[in-house]
Amino acid sequence: MKKYFFFLVFFSISLLQLVAQNADSLWVRENYYKIERMIAMRDGAKLFTAFYIPKDSSQKHPILFNRTPYTCYPYGEDKFNPRLYQSYWINYLKEGYIIAIQDVRGKWMSEGDYVDVRPFIPNKKNKDVDEASDTYDAIDWMINNIAGNNKRVGVFGISYPGFYSTMAALSNHPALKAVSPQAPVTDWFIGDDFHHNGVLMLMDAFNFYSGFGKPRPKPTMVGEEGFNIPSQDNYDFFLKTGGLKNFSKIMGDSIAFWNDLMNHPNYDAWWQARNPRNFVTNVKPAMLVVGGLFDAEDCFGAWELYKAIEAKSKNTDNRLVMGPWFHGGWGGRGNGDYLGNVRFGSKTSEYYQRNIEIPFFNFYLKLKGTVHDIAEANIFFSGANEWKNFEQWPPKNVEYKNLFIKGDGGLSFENTGNKFKPADKMKRPEYFSEYISDPSHPVPYTEDVHLDRTREYMTDDQRFASRRPDVLTFSSGVLEDDITLAGPLVADLLVSISTSDADFVVKLIDVFPDEFNYDEKEMGKGNGKNYPMGGYQMLVRGEIMRGKFRNSFEKPEPFVPGKITALKYTLPDVAHTFKKGHKIMIQIQSSWFPIADRNPQTFTDIYHCSDSDFQKSTIRVYHDANNASKIVLPVLK
pLDDT mean over 101-125? 97
What CA–CA distance (Å, rounded) separates 80 from 246? Answer: 42
**CA pair distance 464, 91, nearest whole angstrom:** 43
Across the range 403-430, mean pLDDT stands at: 74
Q: Where are the beta strands (DSSP E) in 79-175?
A: 98-103, 149-158
Say whether pLDDT at 2 is over 70: no
Compute the distance between CA of residue 33 and CA of residue 38 in angstroms, rounded to an integer.
17
First-last CA distance in the chain = 53
366 with 334: CB under 8 angstroms? no
Of 137, 128, 78, 129, give the one whose Cα is nearest residue 102.
137
Fill in the DSSP letter of residue 191: T
Q: What local confidence, expressed as pLDDT, does residue 525 receive?
A: 55
The whole-number pLDDT of residue 86 equals: 83
E strands present in 125-219: 149-158, 176-182, 195-196, 199-200
Indicate the helix (H) or strand (E) that contains 359.
Answer: helix 358-361
Contacting residues for 484 by C-beta, under 8 A, at least 6 apart: 381, 383, 384, 576, 577, 578, 635, 636
Band (7; pLDDT cuts 50, 70, 90):
very low
pLDDT in tens, 372-406: 999 999 999 999 999 999 999 999 999 999 999 99
pLDDT digits (tens, 9 = 90+) for 207-237: 999 999 999 999 999 999 999 999 999 999 9
The ranges assigned to domains in the chain are 27-190+280-390, 398-636
pLDDT of res. 87: 75
Q: Do domains 27-190+280-390 and 398-636 have the same CATH topology?
A: no
∠ CA 109-115-119, nearest 5°, is 130
User: Would you tell me which CATH number, out of the four given (3.40.50.1220, 3.30.2030.30, 3.40.50.1820, 3.20.20.70), belongs to the domain 27-190+280-390?
Assistant: 3.40.50.1820
Q: Which of 469, 476, 495, 472 is nearest to 416 (CA)?
A: 476
398-636: CATH superfamily = Galactose-binding domain-like (2.60.120.260)
Q: What percent of the chain has pLDDT over 90?
A: 90
